[in-house]
Amino acid sequence: MLSRTADSLYWVSRYVERAEYLARILDATMRLSNLPSSYGGAGTEWQSAVATAGCDETFAKAYGEANERNVCDFLTFNPDNPSSIRNCLALARSNARGVRTALTSEMWDALNGAWLELQRFEKKRMDREEFARFLDWVKNVSLVFDGSAYRTMLRDDGYWFSRLGVYIERADNTARILDVKYHVLLPANEQVGGSLDYFQWTTVLREVSALTAYHWVYREAVKPLLIADLLILNRRMPRSLAACYENISRFLDLLGDSYGRQGPAQRQARKTLANLSSTGIEDIFQHGLHEFIEDFITENNRLGGTIIEQYLQ
Amino acid sequence: MGKEACMVAFDEMTGSGAELRPAYDALDRWLKEAPPEMLALRRSQAELFFRRIGITFAVYGDEESTERLIPFDIIPRVLTKPEWTKLEAGLRQRVTAINMFLADVYGPKECIKAGIVPADLVYRNACYQLEMVDFQVPHGIYCHIAGIDIVRVDADTFYVLEDNARTPSGVSYMMENREVMLRLFPELFATHRVAPVDNYPDQLLATLRSVAPRSAPSDPNICLLTPGQFNSAFYEHSFLADKLGVELVEGSDLLVKDDVVYMRTTQGPKRVDVIYRRIDDEFIDPLVFRGDSVLGVPGLIGAYKAGNVTLANAVGTGVADDKAVYSYMPEIVKFFTGEEPILKNVPTYRCREPEANAYVLDNLEKLVVKEVNGSGGYGMLVGPHANKAQIETFRRKLKASPEGFIAQPTLALSTCPTFVASGVAPRHVDLRPYVLSGANGISCVPGGLTRVALKEGSLVVNSSQGGGTKDTWVLDA
């Protein structure tokens, strides 16, 4: 297939995944900020949301101090933020339009319909209730798009590149949450029953829609070590780094088999996956959670670059 | 002229008077019997269908683009088998002559030597490409895809209004119009034996395959080259690539190395043998034509001239569909085929000839005057609709440079019953059949794209000026 086609499929998925991620960050932050300060509403949650979205530098240039209004604006409709929800959906659609025939009509309808509907949201000033509806709508767009891809796409290289986009982006998103929030997960902060951090922890889980999953998996009260285990190593959790790399490695192998050639991307992915499989969460904490996450983000970016080099240009 | 033209115009359904032409018999009965609510419902369903496709493929609702939906009329335009048979023979003959003419003006130039076409019309033509002189195009074919615009003035007379020998568009509408009719009015197709058009992509693919360079493998790699998603015909490009099952490429997807064209794929460079290009000559290769073009492929013409890739259509075909050359088409057809032209030209006065120019100057208020190098209705005077000042402007232009103009009588284009706000009323139509030429011969799906001027009395069928389209039926029995 054309490199440009594969590239567009890859980025369409990445942008849709990112839009959903931003919606979830905003949703979780909104909840946290509504809490009385004695329950953890420390006042830094909006700054933290911007950092989790990975755009604190552009934000600082545009606004300086973070508050609910400017963060929501910046992460949703602001045209100057290249990674706003609006721009993610716009870029997903324009990438899709350029390779229209590589998408199934269901996938295209999901993106084009979303783009048309977005104009309606954009025009009005939203109150909190409408804003919450908007965030739900964004998550829904991603569900519909993802479901369309899963249910309608031929299982060949086009599908595999589109899945790679999903999982590279998802791994990056989960790692970013951990990167920004690692300090609340560190043992030093662990105060059993301590209300302050409890809501910070549940916010982390909400940002990856894993609060219910947590209880099913561990059948325990929320503890930082287990949160980290769930988000990093637990393969049953679809947004964990290990689950993402299981998929990345699988789809890269399918590509390699189909093209009859393995390359640096396959080797890199396999190495990261092996690393995630052979490590225990205690080891990670012992060697430094923060360093582990930083290394992971670097490696994940490097793999993204390798995939582009190997296939997409 | 407006109303006047309406009154004298030949109607496809009722002829010149009140008789009902047999081809429209069943359709007329159906129109009379169908409950108006049902027709209204079907019309809105048709609109919905196109809107969805419009949303799906084009840019309906997109701020960055101005592309719109083209209105679709549900009453088909009907041609009988004998009418089509004659038209098709004429189209084949005309396209054969166009290809022979192109081979001649870029080769031995016999038609110029014989005085059939004035030398300056060819050599000084902006579309005449020196790059192509004495170059043997693969299989000797220049114009692989032609769209010939036809108008009808009475029961027996079809005129060629214009030849489109570069990158004619609209064929996707021909196919989508049929698709929507089949969905909405299955009962009509049970009572009419309508020749199918959905084999067009297969014929196009066969044509493109047949003209691959001789060095290409038996399963040549074909692609469709588009200027990209901001081109107004991008919808058609992606539609055709999809139906053909070939890659839709942009200039940046192709690269040329050692005079061979490759496309960039996820498995590395893949050799390209045939390019159905929907990019104009001047943008196709910045090394040879416009250096500022970012749409083209540097080195493409080099690969083409090395015989390693086929371009469809060939470079330089524009010299054959130029308005001044058009007026010589009857002579060109006769010279190259040795036959009388089956399809007539609209009678044309060449202002470069003093006698003709004198007549034109005396009758400006009756004639349509066209600039030879103009297109899309620019640089045109429609005498009966023009005011004194416009006529005087053209009089001055004609006196100053008569060779830049041709003139034609205003034609009473045939009309076809059409749904308008007030009900069913006659509206003027034209027809664009698509003719494919390959090493495997010439083919032409029955019918083509019928365009209709939706404004009463209007002769302008262009979509940009409120024109719509209809399904075109060729009845098999």
pLDDT single digits (tens) A152-193:
999 999 999 999 999 999 999 999 888 877 777 766 554 444
Does B252 contact chain A (CB < 8 Å)? yes
Q: How far is it, in rounded angstroms, from Cα B100 to Cα B455?
A: 39
Q: Across the interface, which of B247, B250, B266 has its CB nearest the CB of A311?
A: B266
Does A111 contact chain B (CB < 8 Å)? no
Average the pLDDT over B242-269 and give the result: 95
Within 8 A by CB and 6+ apart from B377, the residues are B460, B462, B465
Does B422 contact chain A (CB < 8 Å)? no
Q: How far is it, in rounded angstroms, from Cα B178 to Cα B253?
A: 33
The DSSP secondary-structure symbol of A34 reads T
Interface with chain A: mutation pick from B238, B261, B266, B272, highest number of A CBs within 10 Å: B266
User: B266 vs A94: CB contact, 8 Å cut-off?
Assistant: no
pLDDT band at B293 (very low <50, low <70, confident <90, very high): confident
Average the pLDDT over B393-416 and give the result: 91
Average the pLDDT over A24-44 and give the result: 76
Residue B60, min C-alpha distance to chain A (Å): 9
Average the pLDDT over B156-162 and give the result: 93
Q: Express each pLDDT in B405-464 by its tens digit.
A: 999 998 889 999 999 888 889 999 999 999 999 999 999 999 999 999 988 887 777 766
pLDDT higher than 60, residue A29: yes
User: A101 vs B241: CB contact, 8 Å cut-off?
Assistant: yes
Q: Express each pLDDT in A271-308 by its tens digit.
A: 999 999 999 999 998 888 889 999 999 999 999 999 99
In 3D space, the residue among A41, A44, A24 whose CA is nearest the CA of residue A199 turns out to be A41
Average the pLDDT over A256-283 and give the result: 95
Helices (H), chain A: 3-33, 45-52, 56-62, 68-76, 85-98, 105-123, 128-152, 157-185, 195-207, 211-218, 224-232, 241-259, 264-278, 281-287, 289-307
Q: How far is CA B130 from CA A133, B289, B315, in A?
A: 63, 11, 10
DSSP-based three-state secondary structure for A2 = strand
Q: Express each pLDDT in B354-368 by its tens digit.
A: 999 999 999 999 999
What is the greatest pairwise CA distance in chain B? 68
In 3D space, the residue among B168, B245, B235 whose CA is nearest the CA of residue B201 turns out to be B245
Average the pLDDT over A26-46 and give the result: 75
Q: Express each pLDDT in B51-93 by its tens digit.
A: 766 544 444 444 444 446 788 999 999 999 999 999 999 999 9
Share of chain B above pLDDT 70, in %: 93
pLDDT higher than 60, residue B6: no
Does A2 contact chain B (CB < 8 Å)? yes
List the beta bridge partners of residue B78. Answer: B473
pLDDT band at B324 (very low <50, low <70, confident <90, very high): confident
Q: How far is it, in rounded angstroms, from Cα B221 to Cα B270?
A: 9
| Cβ-Cβ contacts under 8 Å, A2 against chain B | 247, 249, 253, 263-266
pLDDT band at B3 (very low <50, low <70, confident <90, very high): very low
Interface of B with A in 390-419 (CB under 8 A): none
Does A258 contact chain B (CB < 8 Å)? no
Q: Across the interface, which of A1, A99, A116 has its CB nearest the CB of B266?
A: A1
- Strand B310-312 with B274-277, pairing: parallel
Count how many pairs of residues, chain A against chain B, have C-beta atoms within 8 Å: 51
| Cis before B221 (ω within 30) | no
pLDDT band at A224 (very low <50, low <70, confident <90, very high): confident
Does A214 contact chain B (CB < 8 Å)? no
Q: What ipTM does the predicted assembly reach?
A: 0.81
pLDDT higher than 50, residue A17: yes
